[in-house]
Amino acid sequence: MFVKNVGRPTREAYGDEILELGKENPDFYIVDCDIGKSCKTVEFWKQFPRQHVNVGIAEQNACGVAAGLAACGKIPFVTTYAVFGSMRMSEQIRQEICYPKLNVKIACSHGGLTPANDGASHQGIEDMGILRTIPNMTIVNGCDYYSTRKLVRAAAYYQGPVYLRFTRDAVPFVYDETEAFEIGKAKVLKDGSDITIIANGDVMSRAYEAADLLEEKGISVRLLDMHTIKPLDTEAVLDALKKTGRVITVEDHNVINGLGSAVCEVAAEAGTGKVIRIGIQDHFGESAPYEKLLDKNGISVDNIVSKAMELL
């Protein structure tokens, strides 16, 4: 369905879907860190005040509250920004949620470079890499409004800790509301034989556009949406390596320990194929418009096409 330049922020998908979940089951809770307006949980609070806890700007305490709720059989979603949900809460996530494998969801807006002009302090570009190293953690990054709604719902009924990443800015529609999603199972958007592009999150649309341009040049492209980074769909990666031998990963995340690193680990252990990682280089973000920040880091349609041509 890919529709260029038409879309919605995935944080809105979270707000809309968590509201529907609240209507279905009184065991779903939101533990807010005083940024409900930005994270789109205000309507949930209005409709279900007994299922909403605002701990204030105290993210570490939010983890403890969520752990307590989960231990009592509730299903809490700790809601904050990606920088706080992955870094300020890291110890609490490890000790209080993942170690006992409690059924807590960490739902974070403002992932990657989407905070844009807010600058490095608010750009969560290391979040998935940090949490990927913690045992029992599942990491999910939907690429558009519709996929994010489905993945939030899947996470709600998935047993165990889940980290969900959302965008502040609008991102193009890639799917429609009829598409089905399974945590840990990649989506094959194009089936090609020359080269594979594996992407996720807000830059999926750029990968899709690049794939279209490559196909116009007569290149057969396999395009995967790896919405779940952990557990990674290793079968899909191995299949891509077998069928094309060449892989490009595209992500709005530090190239260290994100999607690209996860794919490289599979390729290295299999001892086959060649992988090029496109993402944020090993530096902090900066203040600038979102699109320009992506371009500056080489996360552009032109660069994806250029790297693909180099591989070929």
What is the structure's pLDDT at 21?
98
What is the structure's pLDDT at 227?
98
pTM above 0.75, yes or no: yes
Q: How far separated are the first and last CA of the chain, in Å rounded?
A: 27
Q: How high does pLDDT run on average in the chain?
A: 96
What is the structure's pLDDT at 225?
98
Catalytic residue among 17, 20, 43, 59: 59
Checking if the pLDDT of 47 tops 70, the result is yes
Checking if the pLDDT of 99 tops 90, the result is yes
Domain residue spans of the chain = 7-173, 187-311
Checking if the pLDDT of 24 tops 70, the result is yes
CATH number of the domain located at residue range(s) 7-173 in this protein: 3.40.50.970
Please, which pLDDT band fits residue 3 given cuts at 50, 70 and 90?
confident
Q: What's the CATH number of domain 187-311, 3.40.50.920, 3.90.1310.10, 3.40.50.10790, 1.10.287.70?
A: 3.40.50.920
Task: Tell me the H-state helices in the chain.
Answer: 10-24, 36-39, 42-47, 59-71, 82-83, 90-92, 127-132, 145-156, 204-216, 234-244, 259-270, 290-296, 301-311
Checking if the pLDDT of 202 tops 70, the result is yes
- Average pLDDT in the 133-149 region? 98
Checking if the pLDDT of 1 tops 70, the result is no
- Average pLDDT in the 213-231 region? 98
**CA–CA separation, 214 and 81 (whole Å):** 36
Q: Is 59 an active-site residue? A: yes
- Average pLDDT in the 259-263 region? 98
What is the structure's pLDDT at 4?
77
User: Using one digit for the tens of pLDDT, what is the confidence trace for 164-194?
Assistant: 999 999 999 999 999 999 999 999 999 999 9
Tell me, yes or no, if the two domains 7-173 and 187-311 fold the same way: yes
Q: Is the pLDDT higher at 259 or at 5?
A: 259
Quick check: 76 and 31 in contact, CB under 8 A? yes
Please, which pLDDT band fits residue 6 given cuts at 50, 70 and 90?
confident
What is the structure's pLDDT at 95?
97
